[in-house]
A = this chain, B = another copy of it.
Amino acid sequence: MQTGLDINGGEELTERQMDVLNAVLRLLVEEGDRLTMTAVARRASCSKETLYKWFGDRDGLLTATVQWQASKVRVAPVDRARLDMASLTASLERFASDWLHVISSDTSIALNRVAIAHAGEEKRNLGAIVLENGRLAMGRRLKPVLLAGREAGLLAFGDDEQAFRTFFGLVARDVQIRLLLGDRVKPTDAEIGRDAAEATRQFLALYGAQTGAATAGL
């Protein structure tokens, strides 16, 4: 009753346990939330008893999977020294491209779907986890870059949260919601690269120190 429930921050997972979570992830992509504990056990070649010992219950298994996958998205921060327009543009494009790749991936779609499906319930953990490690983590990652850009006189904005949300909108547009709803619009790498560059260009047009000060909400 007391084991297997320590699914909080950065818990330690054995190799075997990660194999199990990988199986869950694949099943999630294939069948969505309809996966059964029996199917997981069969796919992972383990017993249901083990699943329950390790993860508590079905919800715990899903939570562990989402959390584990989310923990993989860590990316290196940017060095705030020596920032010019070229490196700022490159950073933004990199962010945009990474983000578009993530939200277009099958695993991200599957994970967001199950998190959204469970978001209306009392156990609202999945949605919060995905939000925390998706949208919010991206904000925490990008805001230092924006602030450094402002400090270097390259950007002009009043609130970094507002500036970030605009960038988010320019990058994501309608891609995520369409994919979540089952639309077949999965962009190619080339399209992602083009869209990332375009979004960055537009963002700089709005928030660049020279061009866009009038529209930056000052």
Tell whether A68 is near chain B: CB-to-CB under 8 Å. no
Known contacts A177-B176, A205-B206; A183 and B131 CB within 8 A of each other: yes
Known A-B contacts A33-B117, A113-B119; the reply to A173 vs B181 at CB < 8 A is no
Whether B165 and A173, one on each chain, are in contact in the complex, defined by CB atoms closer than 8 angstroms, is yes
- Chain B, Cβ-Cβ closest to A114: B117
- A168, B175: Cα distance in complex, Å: 10
What is the total number of residues of chain A having a CB less than 8 Å from a CB of chain B? Answer: 44
A182 to B128, CA, bound (A): 7
User: Is A169 part of the contact surface with B, judged by Cβ < 8 Å?
Assistant: yes
- Minimum CB–CB distance for A64 against chain B, Å: 18
CB-contact partner of A178 in B131, B181, B202, B212, under 8 A: B131
Assuming the contacts A33-B117, A113-B116, A205-B212, asked whether A130 and B170 have C-beta atoms less than 8 A apart, the reply is: no
A215 CB contacts on chain B under 8 angstroms: 201-202, 205
Q: 1/0 per residue A128-145: CB within 8 Å of B?
A: 101100010000000000
Do B177 and A124 touch across chains, with their CB atoms under 8 A apart?
no
The contact string, 1 if C-beta is below 8 Å from chain B, for chain A 181-218, is: 11100000000000000100110011000001011010
With beta carbons under 8 angstroms apart, the residue of B169, B177, B182 that contacts A120 is: B182
Residues on A close to B: CB < 8 A?
Answer: 31-34, 110, 112-113, 115-117, 119-121, 124, 127-128, 130-131, 135, 165-166, 168-174, 176-178, 180-183, 198, 201-202, 205-206, 212, 214-215, 217
